[in-house]
Chains A and B, each alone.
Chain A
Amino acid sequence: MFRRVSVTAMLEVTDLHKSFRNVQAVNGLSLHVQAGEIVGLLGPNGAGKTTTLRCICGILQPDAGQIVVGGYDLARQERPAKQLMAFIPEAPNPYELLTVREHIQFVAMCYGTMDTFHERIEELLHRFDLKEKEHALVATLSKGMKQKLAVACAFVHNARLFLCDEPLIGIDPKGQHELKSELQRLRDEGCAILVSTHQLDTAERLCDRVIIMQSGRKLAEGTLAELQAQAQMAGSTLEQVFLRLTEEAKDAGDRVSESASPDQ
Chain B
Amino acid sequence: MRAIAFLNLHLLINSVRRTFTNPLRATVTALIVLWFGFIFLSNLLFSSHASRAPMPPELVTRYRDDLIAIVTGVHLLILLPVFSPSTGFRSVQLFTQADVNFLFPSPLHRSVVFFFLLFSRGVVNSLFLLLILPIMLISTARDLLASLLLGNRPTHLNLVWAYPLMYLLAFFTLLGSGILVVLKEERQEGSGRRLRWALGMVLAVLAGILGWHAHRVWSQGGNPLQAVVWHLLNAPVVAIPLLPVRALAESAMVFAGGWTPTITAGFVFWAGALAGTVHLLMKYQYLFYDLAASIASRATADVLRWQNPGVSSYESAVASAAKQPHKVARWRMFTTWTPQGAWALVWCHSLLMVRLLAGSQAFMAILIPIIFLFAMFVFAAGRDLGRGGELVFVLFVFYTLILFMTLSAQSWMVGVLRRADMNKSLPFPTRVVVLTEIAPPALFLGACLVLWGIVMMWLSPGNLWALVCHTLIGVSLVPVLLSVLLTLFLFLPDPTDYTQRVLLGFLMFPALLLGALPAVLIAVADVLLDLPLGLTTVFILCANAGMLWLSLHLACYQYTRLNPAE
Chain A residues near B (Cβ < 8 Å): 21, 54, 57-61, 78-80, 82-83, 85-87, 89, 91-99, 102-103, 105-107, 109-112, 137, 139-140, 150, 153
Contacts and interface: CB of A to CB of B under 8 A. Distances in A.
B293 interface: yes
B107 A106 contact: no
A137 B109 contact: no
Contact of A87 (B2, B7, B105): B105
Given A95-B7, A96-B98, 13 more contacts: A59-B100, A59-B105, A82-B105, A85-B105, A87-B101, A94-B98, A95-B98, A107-B102, A107-B106, A109-B6, A137-B18, A140-B566, A150-B101
Interface string B3-20: 100110011001100100
Contacts of A87: 101, 105
B493 to A, nearest CB: 13
A93 B293 contact: no
Nearest to B101: A89
28 contacts: A54-B293, A58-B104, A59-B100, A59-B105, A60-B290, A61-B286, A61-B287, A61-B289, A61-B290, A79-B107, A80-B107, A82-B105, A82-B106, A82-B107, A85-B105, A86-B105, A87-B105, A93-B100, A93-B101, A94-B98, A94-B101, A102-B14, A107-B106, A110-B102, A110-B107, A111-B106, A137-B18, A139-B566
Contact of A110 (B3, B15, B287, B289): B3
B7 A98 contact: yes
Given A59-B105, A78-B107, A79-B109, A97 B18 contact: yes
A82 B113 CA distance: 14
A25 B2 CA distance: 35
A175 B430 CA distance: 37
Contacts of A58: 104-105, 289
B102 A57 contact: no
Q: Among B14, B108, B496, which residue has the most Cβ atoms of chain A within 10 A?
A: B14
A79 B110 CA distance: 9
Interface in B538-566: 566
Contacts of B18: 97, 137, 139
B106 A110 contact: yes
B97 interface: yes
Main secondary structure on A side of the interface with B: mixed
Contacts of B110: 78
A202 B344 CA distance: 44
Please indicate which of the listed interface residues B103, B107, B287 has the most CB atoms of chain A within 10 Å of its own CB: B107
Contacts of A89: 100-101
B96 interface: yes
Interface string B311-336: 00000000000000000000000000
A140 B104 CA distance: 24
Interface string B464-499: 000000000000000000000000000000001000
Contact of B102 (A91, A95, A112, A140): A95
B10 A98 contact: yes
A57 B98 contact: no
A106 B3 contact: yes
Contacts of B101: 87, 89, 92-94, 150
A110 B108 contact: yes
B351 to A, nearest CB: 31
Nearest to A103: B102
Interface residues of B, number: 31
Which among A83, A110, A140 has the highest number of chain B CB atoms within 10 Å? A110
Interface string B284-295: 001101100100
Given A61-B287, A82-B105, A139-B566, A93 B98 contact: yes
A153 B102 contact: yes
* Most-contacted residue by chain B among A96, A97, A103, A137 (CB, 10 A): A97
A105 B5 CA distance: 13
Contacts of B496: 96
Interface in B72-112: 96-98, 100-110
Contact of B107 (A54, A99, A111): A111
B286 to A, nearest CB: 5
Q: Shortest 8 CB-CB distances between A and B: which pairs?
A: A93-B97, A110-B106, A109-B3, A82-B107, A89-B101, A87-B105, A57-B105, A97-B14
Contact of A102 (B10, B104, B188, B566): B10
B313 to A, nearest CB: 25
A60 B107 contact: no
Contacts of A21: 188
Contacts of A94: 98, 101-102
A93 B97 CA distance: 6
Contacts of A109: 2-3, 6
A60 B98 contact: no
Contacts of A99: 10, 14
Contacts of B286: 61
A215 to B, nearest CB: 21
Contacts of A57: 104-105
A78 B107 CA distance: 7
A125 to B, nearest CB: 17
Contacts of A82: 105-107
Contacts of A107: 102, 106
Given A61-B286, A61-B290, A94-B102, A106 B7 contact: yes
A11 to B, nearest CB: 14
B97 A91 contact: yes
Given A58-B289, A61-B286, A139-B566, A97 B11 contact: yes
Nearest to A95: B98
A21 B294 CA distance: 12
Contact of A59 (B107, B188, B293): B293
Interface string B155-196: 000000000000000000000000000000000100000000
Nearest to B188: A21
A126 B135 CA distance: 48
A11 B22 CA distance: 49
A110 B7 CA distance: 10
Contacts of B14: 97-99, 102, 137
A109 B110 CA distance: 15
Contacts of B6: 105-106, 109
A216 B253 CA distance: 58
Contacts of A96: 98, 496
Contacts of B289: 58-61
Contacts of A85: 105
Interface in B372-402: none
Most chain A CB within 10 A, of B15, B97, B102, B289, is at B102
A87 B104 CA distance: 10
B103 A110 contact: yes
A73 to B, nearest CB: 13
Given A59-B293, A109-B6, A150-B101, A98 B109 contact: no
A96 B289 CA distance: 21
A239 B107 CA distance: 37
B128 to A, nearest CB: 16
Contacts of B290: 59-61
A202 to B, nearest CB: 22
A137 B109 CA distance: 28
Contacts of B97: 91, 93
A93 B101 CA distance: 8
A85 B104 CA distance: 12
Contacts of A93: 96-98, 100-101
A85 to B, nearest CB: 7
